[in-house]
Each structure stands twice: as structure tokens, then as C-alpha cells.
Amino acid sequence: MPTGDSRRLQPEKPALIDPFGRTVRDLRISVTDRCNFRCTYCMPEEGMKWLPRQEVLSYEEIRRVAKVCVDRFGVDGIRLTGGEPTVRAHLPVLISRLAELKVPDDADSPRAGKPIDLALTTNGATLALIADDLRRAGLARINVSLDTLDQEKFRTMTRRDDLHRVLEGIDAAIAAGFDPVKVNAVVQRGVNDDEIVALAAFGREKRVEVRFIEFMPLDAQGHWLNEAVVGQDEIVSTIAAVYPLEQLPARGAAPADRWRYLDGKGTVGVIPTVTKPFCGDCDRVRLTADGQFRTCLFATDEFDVRGMLRSGATDDELEALLRRAVGTKWAGHRIGDVAFVRPRRSMSQIGG
């Protein structure tokens, strides 16, 4: 049997399957824990402790882990996130290295033999400047976060006066040819729930899918309250009262439930992590900026990939660590349950 980096998926080395029979297909990679915004639902204005540079994985290290996941497990989708991924220097260099990865011909994936599905989640603040570079580097899809269209509220929610930049960034992403461009909006009761229809209208006008995200207990400050969550049913009925909707077929492993506007003006999604957890279909694992492997946003355990990379481990050893980690993946998070334990790290430290 061939060994080393180039080894492809072998029948006796099946895809990465967790104890509940779910196949891992999607890898979220956080490239930095730093950010140029301070969204109130994510981090405090001051006091975040950033990772020391030497603890952050280099682009070479990230690519190596990604390549093991693609070549050996048939992972077919990678999303870069953070913190804010665009604040890391030379991001297009990493993108071009990852865009070279190809899903093995014999992988059990609709993308077998094709390049991986490479995506980015960003706050959009600098997209107008870099969208073309990211596209040229081989990035295919982009999600931009935008929680309000009101300048004053934007300033309160992000602690930055950058609404115009984000709007320009969305236009630049559309012009650069990303397909699709999606907009992520976290909805919080009493903060921006009065803008659900306005955000939906924005998506219809721009022909981008807005995906409303339920507020999750992952803010660094620990201020999350169940009462602040606006659930999927309420979000959908609020939109449907103005723009009639029809639900699209089941989401599969994708986190969003989706609807189409009956007048043909596109689609809208909701990520109902809290009120309708989609853990049963989860196909995702995560690599933090400091090289810790996690099987869930809400996992309380991490596996030290960085330590292994830096102590000269072989790809076989890395593979074994990742398989062991996935062997601990639990059935689902338990938000709302008395047994729920908040993870030690917050959303921006894990990679949302």
C-alpha cells in the first residue's frame, strides 16, 4: 500500500465516521482568533486575550492538516473562519494552497475527483479591497455577516462605524463572481429582531441568501440568555407575513433550513441551532487557530494537532489522532438542558 502524503482513500481506510454513524465531510478552519470588530454577541470591547503568534498554526501547518483530511478521509468542504480571517496577513496565499486540494476519485462524495468546496466567512469590512484577490486565489463561496442595516445600531452591535464598508464589501463580493454570496444575520431579541423583514428585503433586492442565525451561548462575556434567542418559527412567520414562503426540501448536512419566496425572488435560510438542533445530520469538525481539533462548536474536549505537527508526527500519526478525536464526537449539544456545559472557549476563539 502506498504511504506518505499522496496516499488516497483506501477501502480499508474508510471515511471518517463518528460513533453515531455520521460521516465527517466538512472542516472549519479558524485562521486567527483576532478581529477588527467587537460584536456584542461575540466578544467584549476590551480584554480579549489574543493567542501569541507562535501558537497560531502557520499556513503550511494548516495545509498539511487539510490535506490529510481531504486525501485520507474524503473531506470535501473547507470553510475558513475566525476571529476575522481577513485580518490575517496574506490570506490569498493560504487560499491558493487549499484550492489545489482535490477530493480523491474514490471518495464517497458528490465532489469526488473535483476540487474541494472552499468557502470563507467574514465580517466583510475589508472585502471591497480584497474580494478580487480572494477570488483569483481560488475561493469559491463567501458568507458575509450583517446583522443590521441601521448605521447607529451597527455601531452599537459591532462597536465599529463600518456599515458602509460591509455593504460595499457585499457588492464587491457579488461583482467578483462569488457564487453564492450569503449574508449571515444573528438575531437577538430586543436588539435587531425588528429588522428581520428589512434584512430579508435586502437579500431579495441583492439576490443573496440571508441566513438568520439563532443566538448561541458562545459569547465570550457569558451574557447569553435563552430569552434573547429569537427562534426559527418566529423568524420564518415574521418574514412570511410580508413575503410568502415555501419550505425547500430537507437540508441534509447543511446547517440552514431554507425557504423560497413564492414570488421567485430567491431564498432565505435559518440556522436553528438552539430551537431545532441539527446535530443528527452534523458532518463537521473544526481546527482552531492554535491547532486544536474539535468535533463540535460546543465540545468540551480538544485534541492537540499542533503539538503533534511540531513534534515531527507522520501523516499516519495525524490520521490516527483525528480518527480518535472523531471517535469521541457526541450525539449533540445540550443547549437548554440542565446538563449543558458551556465550552471553555468562545465563538471567536473556536472559529464560528
Task: Establish if 348 lies at the interface with ligand SAM (CB under 6 A).
Answer: yes
Task: Establish if 37 lies at the interface with ligand SF4 (CB under 6 A).
Answer: yes
232 touches 275 (CB < 8 A) = yes
Strands 292-294 and 303-304 turn out to be antiparallel
Q: 38 touches which of ligand SAM, ligand SF4, none (CB within 5 to 8 A by kind)?
A: ligand SF4
Closest-by-Cβ residue to ligand SAM is: 352
Choose one: 77-85, 257-265, 313-321, 336-344; the region binding ligand SAM (CB under 6 A): 77-85
Task: Establish if 287 lies at the interface with ligand SAM (CB under 6 A).
Answer: no
Choose one: 31-39, 148-156, 287-295, 326-334; the region binding ligand SF4 (CB under 6 A): 31-39
Task: Establish if 39 lies at the interface with ligand SF4 (CB under 6 A).
Answer: yes
Choose one: 58-66, 80-88, 175-183, 302-310; the region binding ligand SF4 (CB under 6 A): 80-88
Q: How far apart are CA 133 and CA 207, in angstroms?
A: 23
Euclidean distance between the first and the last CA atom of the chain, given in angstroms as a whole number: 38
- Applying CB under 6 A, among 74, 82, 104, 269 the residue interacting with ligand SAM is 82
Cell numbers that stand for 344 in this block: 471553555
- Applying CB under 6 A, among 82, 104, 203, 277 the residue interacting with ligand SF4 is 82
- C-alpha dihedral sign at 252, 142, 221, 343: positive
Task: Establish if 213 lies at the interface with ligand SAM (CB under 6 A).
Answer: yes
- Applying CB under 6 A, among 24, 27, 29, 35 the residue interacting with ligand SF4 is 35
Q: 154 touches which of ligand SF4, ligand SAM, none (CB within 5 to 8 A by kind)?
A: none
Cell numbers that stand for 236 in this block: 420564518
Q: Would you say 84 or 283 has its CB closer to ligand SAM?
A: 84
Task: Quickly count: other Cβ atoms within 10 Å of residue 132's Cβ.
Answer: 16
Closest CA to 101 of 66, 72, 58, 49: 66
Q: How far is CA 234 from CA 41, 160, 197, 252, 301, in A?
A: 20, 29, 12, 22, 33
Q: Would you say 81 or 288 has its CB closer to ligand SAM?
A: 81
Q: How far apart are CA 122 and CA 136, in angstroms?
A: 17
Helix axis angle, 163-176 to 127-137, nearest 10°? 30
List of residues contacting ligand SF4 (CB under 6 A): 35, 37-39, 42-43, 82-84, 123, 145, 348
